Structure formats: C-alpha cells, structure tokens
Amino acid sequence: MPVKAGWEGRYYEDFEVGDVYRCRLGRTVTENDNIWFTLLTNNTNQIHFNTEYGKQTEFGQCLINSVLTLAIVAGLGVADVSENGFNLGWDNVVLPNPVFAGDTLYSESEVLETRESRSKPQWGIVKVETRGVKQDGTLVCKYTRNVMVWKKAHAPKQDLFPEVKQA
C-alpha cells in the first residue's frame, strides 16, 4: 500500500508577500498550564499563581503568564511558518489584552517580506507578522519575526519514519 506524505511545512519558495496563514488549531490555556509554566520559569509574580492575590487586582483573577501566551501563539504558527527553519529575531512584541484560564488562543501570520540569504544560498529569510487572538476575536499578542527557512532543494531529508520490521 502506498504511503502518502503528510504536511511537511513551507519552504522558502512557498512564501509570498501578502499571504496570511491561519493555524487550523486553537489551544485552550488551562490554569495548570499557567502555574506549571510560571513556576518552571521562576516567575515570582503572584498574579499568575495566587488566586486570592488575583481576586484583589483589577482583573479579579489570575492572568495567564504573557510569555506563555507568546509561546503558544508562536507554537501554533510553526507548521505554517518555521517548520523548515529557525528564528533569527523577534521585534515589536505587544500583548494588548489579558488572557485568562479557559481562553482559547488562535494564531495567524502574514508574510511581510522575503529575501534570499546573502551569506547562505541554501536559505531564504522570511519576515512575518503574527497575531494571536482569543475565542471572541480579541487581539492578545502581536509581533514580527524573521525566520531563516530552507530552500526546498537544500532541505534535510524529511522522511525520518523508521522501517517497519515484520513480526
């Protein structure tokens, strides 16, 4: 039976200025996600893990750690933007509205620029603006980033699935 290849992400040649890629997945953020991430990163701001403290703030509850919000929004865009590359830098990160436990995050990225790498001919550089929104459409995160992306002819072999041994 023939094996059909799955989605392997975009290569440099696949990006066109003006394209918008919307991640097909949403990710609901839980209280456990937030506490785990906050403590893992040694963030001692109680607004992220002390419910009684959160109740006393203008929000009336704990906030999702902003770096977790950024990480989830970025992660949602990997399959479309950086599956075949890596980040060169992030610019203009803004988090204009809070995220709370139970909110579901979505991500879309718009291609702003593309150019071939001047020093590495096997790569191209893609600049995107990524927007993270929650379930009601409220913008919660926005940033630009530059990604170094493989040209298809130079990319490492994608088929890493091991040979199945017969029992």
5 within a domain of the structure (yes/no) = no
What pLDDT, on a 0 to 100 scale, did the predictor assign at position 3? 76
| Domain carrying residue 71 | 12-154
Answer whether residue 158 shows pLDDT above 80: no
Neighbours of 118 (CB within 10 A): 8
pLDDT(152) > 90: yes
What CATH number corresponds to the domain at position 108?
3.10.129.10
Closest CA to 107 of 127, 81, 85: 81
Whether residue 3 lies inside any domain: the answer is: no
Domain count, the chain: 1
- Return d(Cα 112, Cα 110) in angstroms, integer: 6
CA of 134: how far to CAs of 4, 21, 55, 114, in Å? 34, 16, 22, 28
pLDDT in tens, 84-100: 999 999 999 999 999 99
pLDDT digits (tens, 9 = 90+) for 3-38: 777 788 999 999 999 999 999 999 999 999 999 999
| 116 lies in some domain | yes
Q: Looking at the predicted structure, is the pLDDT value of residue 167 above 80?
A: no
Is 163 part of a structural domain of the chain?
no
For residue 54, name the pLDDT band (cuts at 50, 70, 90). Answer: very high
Computed over every residue of the chain, the mean pLDDT equals: 94
% of the chain with per-residue pLDDT over 90: 87
pLDDT of amino acid 136 = 98
Total-model pTM: 0.91
